[in-house]
Amino acid sequence: MCHSGVERNCPGVEVVMVVRTLCRIVVVLCVVATPLVAAEPIGFWSFQPLRFTVPRGGESGWPSNSIDQFILRRMELANLRPSARADDEKLLRRVCFDLLGLPPTSGQRELFLSDRRPDAWSRLVERLLADPHMGERWGRHWLDV
């Protein structure tokens, strides 16, 4: 708030007045601002840490992560059971329609079904995400906005 060149530009009496005014401003700001800052955090819900417990139980093998546990819990409350795991051909068809909006080509089908590596699914999804048709499909959604 103080400028080093004040002394050169102002006569002596004006310098004292400027300094006094600045001191008054600082005191007022300190007095006014102090009550605005709470010593203790306010109990707004948005300031509270997230607390949740992951539901336990369920069928062996299906809930593979905590999100699945929550979904399974809600399904159990509605007296629903998870569907059986889809075979590779159905999974391929679903992911192609979801990402590309098109059925899988015969080449995609052959490549995925013959791939026996443990990361075959991840590799398929990465290929589909890199496919230009994926951008075209999702670009249509954004063009509608």
pLDDT in tens, 68-92: 888 888 988 999 988 888 999 999 9
Q: Coil, strand, or helix at residue 93?
A: helix
pTM of the model: 0.55
Residues of the chain with pLDDT under 50: 1
Q: Please, are residues 73 and 103 in contact by the beta-carbon 8 Å criterion?
A: no
Query: pLDDT at position 3, please?
Result: 56
CB count, 10 Å around CB of 34? Answer: 9
List C-alpha distances in Å: 72 to 23, 27, 50, 52, 125.
64, 60, 21, 16, 25
Q: Please, are residues 101 and 138 in contact by the beta-carbon 8 Å criterion?
A: no
